[in-house]
Structure 1
Amino acid sequence: MFDAGRPPAPLMSNPRADRVKETAKLAGRPARLKTGRFLAEGPQAVREALAAHHSATGAGRPGVVLEVFATPACLERLPELAELAHGLPLRLATDEVLAAMADTVTPQGIVAVCRILSPTLQDILALRPKLLAVMCEVRDPGNAGTILRAADSAGADAVVLTAASVDIHNPKAVRSTAGSLFHLPVVSGVEFEELAAALHDAGITILAADGYGDQNLDELQDASALRRLSPDSVTGAGETAGRNSAPRLEDPSAWLFGNEAQGLSAAQLDASDHRVAVPVYGEAESLNVGTAATVCLYASARAQNR
């Protein structure tokens, strides 16, 4: 244990020690599934994990962080990390030990072992969410991280990953979230049919981000702005949107974002209430799924928060 007011515990210096090997195994999915733990690497991710830990324990919920490993140089450079880790096992280790634990080639001097939190879809829907981001078989860790960061920035209530999507606790995915993984609930492994039925039962409009959609996102934003400025001037402004009318971005919504190569499947498109296209004004064939997700989520966030 490391305590700024006491002599530090012996420096971990053997990169082949059993404890180091067990921690390193969390980079693999089998160990994460078996232990319910994952790794957060680097100062930014660990800082957000520790902040989430204290927020959870302060509210009487289980903590997020189980233990932290750091080099003396990292803690000298960033002493606030040692302060945030107060009350948790914080062990000093050499650069070689951190390199053996971490997934990155050049770790940044600190790694946290975190608990995988597993909220259910029912847990999320019970909170009456206004905005959800749904990844439908998104498999690239970088894209998944970008979508999760966009959802966090847009104030979404939760992120849902359907079955066959990337493991969001994969070290590459965790890094790509830049700490946003610790800011909002994430539900993984949901079967799409179950998800669609639950969303419809909850009265949440399902919007499919589809380059060939018949709804234009710019026009939906214009209509939302007009309703906000002059509600009486828009026919049907007080009515709930259905499949035969344009969706209202201010209504509770779940955005579907599809697989990088195939996009959304026919079944996923059929289950959606509306297919919405982000207009492309230049020569690009299409938008990357992470970029499209950012645009769509912010459009809903702007409508819902004005």
Structure 2
Amino acid sequence: MDLSVSGKTLIVRPKNVNAEVTPKYVLSKEQIDFYKKNGFLVVKGLINFECLYTVKKRFLQIVNGLEDTGFMTIVKEPGLAEKGAKGQDVINKINDIHFDEEFSSYSEDPRLLDVVGQLIGDSITIVHCMFINKPAGTVRHPPHQDLWYFPFRPADKIVASWTAVDRVQRDNGCLFVLPGSHLTHTLVEHHYPTDSNKFLFYGVRDESSAPEEQRVHLTMDPGDTVFFHPLLIHGSGPNVSKRSRKAITCHYASGECEYVAVEGTVQETVAKEIESLAKVKKNLDLNFVDTWRYKNKLVRGTKSNL
């Protein structure tokens, strides 16, 4: 994939190294510098076909009722449900999949964790993981910052991975990013735009911070993976094609991160909503911090503050 940013093009491809070297997947200085400057980095073909097949098969088993959802939460696309869509054609995503053995083949993939470790440090905790289906007819995901949802800091010690399971193009709603926005914006106020899903699909209130002409659209082949900073403004377009846009994503935090109070900050809104959803969906009476403490998973290292 060729990414043009500020007139310069960076070609990112997997780098094979000796299997006895640790970490087993080594980012170049150019790649790390690109991530620090732009807030995202795409690595071509990082996740292999076997893993992609496993998670796609698991998604179909879950949505077709062949396996118990357990800890996972299935999220439907409201507009499609209202139109009578059924089966996987109405499923937007499955949340909290990182405790499932099959889905864990992605979130704990050694090469993936190698890259994550070089971006946030050797102690790695999974804080959120989901399989995204985005069926035909799904509305856009407005520009947003992932840190909006997280009551822990520092932001530089958090990173997301997002991997295409099927081919991702403009017509089926590929991701877009605002290069460098993680450096020019602190956490800003979010709200629910009128043209978006209202199940935690928040968007920045002032969309002038995400002008169309500055958006870089990430078309991706299966296995391609983008890593991005939690303050990076990003989103995705509507799926106007006749096929779904399957992807799998995971958020990781360093064990050095610590929980912070969000009372009196712009995050109060989302904190109250997540607490309410925990009560309704999981029958759990938890505060905002504890909703995250409840589901994190240490996958590298021996100690975490989370």
> TM class by shorter-chain length?
under 0.3
For CA contacts below 8 A with separation 6 or more, give which structure has more relative contact order: 2
Larger radius of gyration: 1
What TM-score, normalized to structure 2? Answer: 0.27
What TM-score, normalized to structure 1? Answer: 0.27
